[in-house]
Chains A and B, each alone.
Chain A
Amino acid sequence: MKSEPLSYLGKDGGPWEIFTEQVDRVVPYLGRLAPLAESLKRPKRVLIVDVPVRLDDGSVAYFEGYRVHHNTARGPAKGGVRYHPEVTLSEVMALAGWMTIKNAAVGLPYGGGKGGIRVDPRKLSPGELERLTRRYTSEIGILLGPDRDIPAPDVNTGEREMAWMMDTYSMNVGRTVPGVVTGKPIALGGSLGRRDATGRGVFITAAAAAEKIGLQVEGARVAIQGFGNVGNAAARAFHDHGARVVAVQDHTGTVYNEAGIDPYDLLRHVQEFGGVRGYPKAEPLPAADFWGLPVEFLVPAALEKQITEQNAWRIRARIVAEGANGPTTPAADDILLEKGVLVVPDVIANAGGVTVSYFEWVQDFNSYFWTEEEINARLERVLRNAFEAVWQVAQEKKIPLRTAAYVVAATRVLEARALRGLYP
């Protein structure tokens, strides 16, 4: 009997439909596991909760909250919680599915989950936000637990919200459980090295890719789009390993210096003036010229859909390392492939963050905390292994790294599913 498609999203599938299409595209490479791919097109569980909050003016506002476990074959559900007025069930489901893929691609012992509240957090006071977070945490508490489901920060949530979530869960179960969320402040069981983790990961995977194509990091030129947490940590890592960061672009402008920009110095400028514009030790450049710069590494670390069919043909870099999520459109991907530009896909390139989240959770289990050196060494090992596995599959099957990452991930998830069998 054929399984019916999911009914609860209605006619317009939204982002979830895009996710299932991505799954379909990987199926031809899954061999004997292909029949199990259907299990990826159905989330394991979906919880919709009502989140009433008493506002500062005494009235009560009601918000829609979600928590989705997409797949837990490889371990507990793991994925962030976002606060955004456009959050929908379909989006949360798709993001949960994407976490299943990402965790498996990196080789972390997690399944995929995601949560969200349909709310514009800018319209709430800190007190209202705290009540919202605490009520939401209690409502989804039936799914949470360090061995069941471990939320993390996402859009519009951070250390503050994670601290509230940890406290609420802990109060509800009657003891302190730091391992129930990651991305906590250090004082509450957060991990060292988390802030720089994603940027470091971008460098580690880009360097691993460079090794494969015989490209030297030392002396190589690097252009970075975005100078937030990810962009500036990546810039520092490249700089520390002897590469030259020649161009940086952010929302305020683009700066260029062929001799190289010291990212530590630029960071001081950005902290003072709010952006790279006006940085005195480099020249300004029109934004559009950024993409065609003569560099070896290009790191899009800002927003999604930055490399499009409009600018992809201008790119002269040999390696594009995706620090942001989804910075390359599928059409641009095809152009880069044709031009022979190696794209290190977001799934592994920006996985440093979730990897250190994983380390945080492991440390919380043990109540024993590692040094920053230990964390960085382990981060490098995890990401290098992840890259190597994806590279091997890409070579074997003659497919781009992005497809290979999905193949590796889907294979790992379905392998676990096959080994575990169908309950009962």
Chain B
Amino acid sequence: MAWIMDTYSMTVGSTVPGVVTGKPHALGGSEGRDDAAGLGALLVLEALAKRRGLDLRGARVVVQGLGQVGAAVALHAERLGMRVVAVATSMGGMYAPEGLDVAEVLSAYEATGSLPRLDLAPEEVFGLEAEVLVLAAREGALDGEMARQVQAQAVVEVANFGLTPEAEAYLLGKGVLVVPDLLSGGGGLLASYLEWVQDLNMFFWSPEEVRERFETRVARVVDAVCRRAEQGGLDLRMGALALALERLDEATRLRGVYP
């Protein structure tokens, strides 16, 4: 991103930080961007759980996938008072019913490229006893068959298309809170947007200001999606899609057909 920004800037003859997002902080990147996707997913989960009367304090969390997003989710889950009992990569899962020390596991994973200990096969993490299951690995990670093992009350789809349609239908039928990718995966994009706004203004917010604006917008989105879903008797994925398409449609209609 730094190269792209520099090349564009050199070509137009002036420094234009707002032409790309995801830049290093020294070049007009935003505070809090690195872990925004993970934080966003958890804030969405929290807001939805609250609406459902689901208490997440001390909740057991299983995180499948330890890329940048999965790792950030695990860290923030711990910070928000949940208990991360298992993490898994494509090699397998590490499980500790009393909770893992996330920072320790992550630094070991970062240093060696593998988890310190493998207690479970990769698919076995889906069936663990836990309140929250986070899918942060790849598309179609959880299919209809594996979904039957799931004991969690909430499944958060952080990776795009982490659930197959069959798996989602099954979980919804069971009354599980399914947080769709469309809703949970917006944190990175939101952080990019906040970076761009700061670049346009060339005025940069403190970490606290970024966090506050981030939280406000997440809360607003969750609220809008829930209202849309309730209004149409839709699940959250359909609610989010409906809301998005209606907004797009409204803008298109208002602008009319050119010329």
Contacts and interface: CB of A to CB of B under 8 A. Distances in A.
Interface of A: 72, 74-76, 109, 111, 145, 147-148, 361-362, 365-366, 381, 412, 415-416, 419-421, 423-424
A365 B202 contact: yes
B27 interface: yes
A366 to B, nearest CB: 6
26 contacts: A75-B28, A76-B14, A109-B28, A109-B204, A147-B15, A147-B16, A148-B14, A362-B202, A362-B203, A366-B201, A415-B26, A416-B26, A419-B2, A419-B24, A419-B26, A419-B27, A420-B2, A420-B3, A420-B5, A420-B6, A420-B9, A420-B27, A423-B6, A423-B7, A423-B10, A424-B7
A419 B26 CA distance: 8
Given A111-B15, A147-B14, A421-B3, A416 B202 contact: no
Interface of B: 2-3, 5-7, 9-10, 13-17, 24, 26-28, 200-204, 206
B26 A148 contact: no
Contacts of B24: 419
Contacts of B13: 148
Contacts of A145: 14
A109 B202 contact: yes
B2 A421 contact: yes
B8 to A, nearest CB: 10
Contacts of A381: 206
Nearest to A108: B202
For chain B, what secondary structure do more than half of its interface residues adopt (helix, strand, loop), or is it mixed? helix
A351 B249 CA distance: 50
A231 B63 CA distance: 60
Given A419-B26, A423-B7, A423-B10, 5 more contacts: A75-B17, A365-B200, A381-B206, A420-B5, A424-B10
Contact of B27 (A76, A111, A147, A416): A416
A421 B202 contact: no
B128 to A, nearest CB: 42
A362 B197 CA distance: 12
B198 to A, nearest CB: 10
Contacts of B10: 423-424
A141 B15 CA distance: 17
Nearest to B28: A109
Nearest to B2: A419
Nearest to A366: B201
A145 B14 CA distance: 9
Nearest to B14: A148
